[in-house]
Chains A and B, each alone.
Chain A
Amino acid sequence: MMKSRHYLIFLLMMLPFAVKAELTIDVVGGAAQQIPIAVVPFLQSTGQQDTIANIVGADLRRSGLFRVLETRGVSNQPHEASEINYPEWSSIQAQALTIGKVESLAGNRLKVSFRLLDVYKQNQLTGFEFNIAPSQQRATAHRIADMIYQKLTGETGVFSTRIAYINKAAGRYSLLVADADGYNPQAVVSSKEPLISPVWSPDGSKLAYVSFEKKKPVVFVQSLLTGQRYVLANFKGNNSAPSWSPDGRRLAIVLTHSANSQIYLINADGTGLQSLTSSSAIDTEPVWSPDGSTIYFTSNRGGSPQIYRVGAAGGEPKRVTFDGAYNVSPRLSPDGKLLAFIKQGSGGFRVAVQDLTNGQVQVLSDTSQDESPSFSPNGRMIIYATNIGGKGALAAVSSDGRVKQRLSDNGGDVREPAWGSAAN
């Protein structure tokens, strides 16, 4: 009886549940050249107020690459290509125009169609039609924004991706997964003891994280589909800093056994533990290069914490950062060309990037207690944890430093962000 009740509580704890506090995102800066775009409210034949155009507009604006124009002053509000009066849109300086509509289908389905048009050339750039359940309108709006973004910038959009982060509120720690715009946060796991270091599996189906629920750090892996989880590493001492290999088969982790933090590799099912580094210093925060050949990590073997790299098959570590006395938390851009990390300087702890081809370092953030950088899947943005007004908050900065965002959560302290792939 006791056992089954514990099991039930455990199950309840594992079930995703909706969380009230959503992240709200404010854009602080923008790209030098923003694309002016008009997004006309979609025609809703369902009788409801349109939300899709708002979400598409907000996504594009948040990226910092678009100037989303006010459309209410334009007398003609088209929903079909044939209804467009192009001079009206050139007169408000729109280069691109998005129109669309939502129609009811049989069986409680909706048909959402949209077109993206070039105002100067007066032709269609792209268009698409979705057959969806009514609950999928938000997700569809993100997919439309992704298609517009890709067509106009040539890059892959990240509006359909998700972020994982830790929220601390009322003495409880929750690992949350939300849409990239902060909506729809779902608790993956919740505990009275700290949760840190969540990382996405490369296919986006699982999260590895560190939980202190056993009164010491232990690494868990949890499926987002089923909510089921298993202990990846619970060796003597600390178990922490998980990082997935690009093929998802192994993880790099940090174990202490009876001494200092050292880096190990372990199969994703918890078997096949092998040692990667052995030093008398701190070796921690391993992360794989996108091609799987190299592991970057933080070590104070030279007297101060710096970033090093070592072959995934072992070998002699080589130092990577030289500028400054405290460089930690390495993360590789998806193309493997940029190293993002946390650098301590006169302004405090800030997000910096180092170009791995020429070694040039650029400090990107203007906040002062930054931690846990994480690249967006397209490499354009870096989300990180910081402190705003004495409280943990999330922020993001573009990898060229031009676009800055603040993500705030009224419900508590937020930290440890990890940017994941698109929701399936």
Chain B
Amino acid sequence: MSKSLLVSVLLAAMLAACSSKAVKEAPVVDKTPSAPAVTETAKPAMADDSATTTGATQTDMSVNPLKDPNNILSKRSVYFDFDKDEVKPEYRPLIEAHAKYLVANPAAKVFIQGNSDERGTREYNLSLGQRRAVAVKKMLSLLGVQDKQIETVSFGEEKATPGCKDDACYQQNRHADFAYENE
């Protein structure tokens, strides 16, 4: 899916959400069969593909929006610049989609896991990863997600691919990830 299409689809989904009107039947998420807001959140990623929309009767996990590769909710990483914790505009749609999912599923809990590249010391990088996680959390909070649904943690540089030689490689290690509880 191209980025512009994705954005427009998201905008459509947001508008739909604002008007509190389910646009279309959508798959049900695990064992909470009636979560109307989920249908809205799950909607965008299927907009260009009706194959995944098999209706409300389906109750298995195969269409969990969090796992659906066609759903933006399956995208979990926000990337950062060196020694920075500002969320770049290109990641707003991803964060907004997760915010909508969490608002619609008040029982859902997410860990925001911050990471850094391997330059600098482990404890400082642990704190830097935390700042990144907190930056994402702040956006989620502004979008209405309850505090108790979010736990920010950091892995610092511990999960970084070792031996990077250039920034293209380091950049892959500077991210905050969404990890849902019980996934």
Contact = CB atoms under 8 A, between A and B. Distances in A.
Given A371-B121, A371-B122, A261 B153 contact: no
A216 interface: yes
A256 B137 contact: no
B130 A241 contact: no
B124 A329 contact: yes
Interface string B137-157: 100000000010011111110
A79 B151 CA distance: 68
A254 B127 contact: yes
A105 interface: no
Contacts of A416: 122
B127 A261 contact: yes
Contacts of B119: 349, 369
Contact of B122 (A237, A260, A261, A372): A372
A282 B131 contact: yes
Nearest to B155: A212
Interface string B108-120: 0001000000011
A64 interface: no
A74 interface: no
A282 B155 contact: no
Most buried by A among B121, B151, B155: B121
B72 interface: no
Interface in A200-259: 212, 215-217, 236-238, 240-241, 254, 256, 258-259
A342 interface: yes
B153 A238 contact: yes
Nearest to B141: A258
Contact of B154 (A256, A285, A298, A349): A256
Contacts of B111: 215-216
Contact of A284 (B124, B158, B159, B162): B124
Given A196-B158, A237-B151, A328 B124 contact: yes
Contact of B130 (A238, A349, A390, A415): A238
B99 interface: no
B128 interface: yes
Given A216-B153, A217-B154, A282-B131, A258 B124 contact: no
B134 interface: yes
Contacts, number: 98
A349 B153 contact: no
Nearest to B153: A216
Nearest to A193: B158
B89 interface: no
Nearest to A326: B120
A367 B86 CA distance: 32
Nearest to B159: A194
A41 interface: no
A289 interface: no
B130 A342 contact: no
A16 interface: no
B140 to A, nearest CB: 12
Given A217-B126, A261-B126, A261-B127, A256 B120 contact: no
A282 B124 contact: yes
A260 B130 contact: yes
Most buried by B among A194, A372, A416: A194
Interface in B48-66: none
Contacts of A174: none
B126 A240 contact: yes
A44 to B, nearest CB: 46
B123 interface: yes
A161 to B, nearest CB: 23
A196 B152 CA distance: 19
Contacts of B153: 215-217, 237-238, 256
A326 to B, nearest CB: 7
Nearest to A341: B121
Given A256-B130, A260-B127, A284-B126, A342 B151 contact: no
13 contacts: A196-B156, A197-B123, A216-B153, A237-B130, A238-B154, A254-B123, A256-B127, A282-B128, A284-B123, A285-B121, A305-B124, A329-B121, A344-B120
Interface of B: 111, 119-124, 126-128, 130-131, 134, 137, 147, 150-156, 158-159, 162-163
